[in-house]
Amino acid sequence: MDLGLAIKSIRKQKGLKQTEFAQLCDITQAYLSQIENNNKEPNLSTLKVISNNLETPLPILFFLSIDSEDISPEKKEAFKIIAPSVKSLINQFFATQ
């Protein structure tokens, strides 16, 4: 699971600099950097604030952070088929906002 990369990707798609986004979330830029680099795992309340400021539902944030290693072996094939399409739809949605 790469939650930090999902957060960073959406933040950049929205054209937000790390410093300004950290201020929006009422966290330090250093802490946001650690989250985006997966060095720190934010608590649920911080994730909700980040999700709200990204205008992205928390379940979508979690979905975007899933990689194939997170999926049980019996479901990997289905994930490989479905994930690219779902991620593409989500990215298209963000591109039009």
Q: How far is CA 25 from CA 13, 21, 33, 34, 77, in A?
A: 17, 6, 13, 14, 37
For residue 70, what is the domain's CATH number? Answer: 1.10.260.40
Residue 67: which residues within 8 A CB-CB, separation 6 or more? 1, 2
Domain span at residue 43?
3-95
Q: What is the pLDDT of residues 16-33, one digit of tens each?
A: 999 999 999 999 999 999
**H helices within 14-73, ranges in order?**
18-25, 29-36, 44-54, 58-65
pLDDT at site 97: 65
Average pLDDT over residues 89-93: 79
Q: What is the pLDDT of residues 40-90, one digit of tens each?
A: 999 999 999 999 999 999 998 998 898 878 889 999 888 888 888 888 887
pTM for the model: 0.83
Number of domains present in the structure of the chain? 1
Query: pLDDT band at residue 8, thresholds of 50, 70 and 90?
Result: very high
